[in-house]
Amino acid sequence: MLIVSSDAHRHHHCLELDGAKLIDSWEGPDRADSIDAALLVAGLGPSVEPEPFDRQLVERVHLPDYVDFLSEAWARWVAGGNEAPAAMAFGWPARRFRSIRPRHLNAQLGFYSFAADCSIGAGTWPAAQASAAMADTAARHVAESGQPAFARCRPPGHHAMRDQFGGYCYVNNAAVAAERLIELGAARVAILDVDYHHGNGTQDIFYGRDDVIFCSIHADPLVEFPYFLGHRDETGEGPGEGSNLNLPLPHGTDATAWFEQLDRAALWIKASGAEMLVVSLGVDTFEHDPISRFRLSRSDFTEIGRRIVDLDLPTVLVMEGGYATEELGKNVVEVLSGFSDT
């Protein structure tokens, strides 16, 4: 299995509002360090640097004005005399507000985001570019060779919508990978999201399309972030009707119940006629994850890898969530080992 990684993320570590406190984000550089160390010990690889960032590709899944905003926000923040270490929104266009793009940076930070868990610092855009490039490079490898690849992306991406960042995500890496696979000849690509949280951004990007289908197994949005998408009745619209499957589960879900939904997702993907697979690989379903409430054990992650490979599709695995940092790399290795050993 090819591993695609980069150190460009290292200067991206921002702030988030958590429990009415401003804290260092749960999504820090130590996450990638944990994964890289575990991959090295396990001997999984080889590992390569990503190809250059392809802005035109990214602008096929995100609106160009949103990409412009991300690329310029930090420089504008500094030029405005702000001394805070991260640029954060403090207001959002909520119900009965108009979605008119404002001119002021502080207002744009709200216009282009949906949560206060996500800020922009000096290293954010370079890290997001590298993360998207990792997913793109992994997708190219799979399309050209038919062999699997793992993009060790940081920051993650599945919460990033067409024109909004949030949930630690800025560019939707899984969407970038799927778009590249379509460009390189796949008639239909399936995205399977196994992160604890719903991939609201991925759903948003492909909701009206039928060439990329999306399935997410996640905590019920009635009680869990991102709260406002991820319900069972969201099945797609227009040409995409029937191409979106949400499988929400309650807090406390154990492996037995979770794997029942993975089997359901697998049947749906097999019936779809998808030719290639992108996996949004979150391992925050782990029983000891500090911000999640499912109960999967380390051995369950091995089984996830085995069941994914049983789909028998050329596969790109893209890193998403997982915040039990000391265990994170080991859990990721379990998935990749289960995938590779079958």
Say yes or no to pLDDT of 64 above 90: yes
Higher pLDDT, 287 or 14: 287
Other CB atoms within a 10 A radius of the CB of residue 163 amount to: 18
Q: What is the pLDDT of residues 158-183, one digit of tens each?
A: 999 999 999 999 999 999 999 999 99
Residue 21's alpha-carbon distances to 17, 109, 122, 132, 296, in angstroms, are 5, 19, 22, 30, 29
Known active-site residue 251: no
**In whole angstroms, what is the distance from residue 125 CA to residue 197 CA?**
23
Q: Which structure tokens are listed for 224?
A: 């869990």
**How confident is the model at residue 22, as a pLDDT?**
93
pLDDT band with cut points at 50, 70 and 90 for residue 256: very high
> Where are the strands (E) in the chain, listed by range?
2-4, 15-18, 21-24, 47-48, 149-151, 189-193, 212-219, 244-249, 276-281, 315-319
- 109's CB contacts (< 8 A; 6+ apart) are 73, 87, 88, 89, 90, 120
Taken in order 238, 244, 250, 251, is the CA torsion positive or negative?
Answer: negative
Least confident of 13-17, 70-74, 129-133, 221-225: 13-17
Buried b or exposed e, range 291-310, using 16+ CB within 10 angstroms: bbbbbbbeebbbbbbbbbbe
pLDDT band with cut points at 50, 70 and 90 for residue 321: very high
Active-site annotation holder among 141, 158, 159, 218: 159
Which of 236, 244, 243, 259 is closest to 306 using CA atoms? 259
Which of 12, 287, 217, 40 is closest to 123 using CA atoms? 12
Q: What is the mean pLDDT of residues 81-99?
A: 93
**How confident is the model at residue 46, as a pLDDT?**
81
Q: What is the pLDDT of residues 265-319, one digit of tens each?
A: 999 999 999 999 999 999 999 999 999 999 999 999 999 999 999 999 999 999 9
**Dihedral Cα 326, 332, 335, 337, nearest 10 deg:** -90
**How confident is the model at residue 290, as a pLDDT?**
97
Say yes or no to pLDDT of 209 above 90: yes
pLDDT band with cut points at 50, 70 and 90 for residue 341: confident
Average pLDDT, the chain: 97
Residue 150 has φ and ψ, to the nearest 5°, of -115, 120
Whether CATH 2.40.50.140 fits 2-53+123-341: no
Sorted by where each begins, the domain ranges of the chain are: 2-53+123-341
**In whole angstroms, what is the distance from residue 225 CA to residue 141 CA?**
33
Say yes or no to pLDDT of 45 above 80: no
Location of structure tokens 């049983």: 310
Q: What is the mean pLDDT of residues 186-196?
A: 99
With residues binned 3-state (H G I as helix, E B as strand, rest as coil), the percentages for the chain, rounded to 5, are: 40, 15, 45
Question: DSSP character for 213?
Answer: E
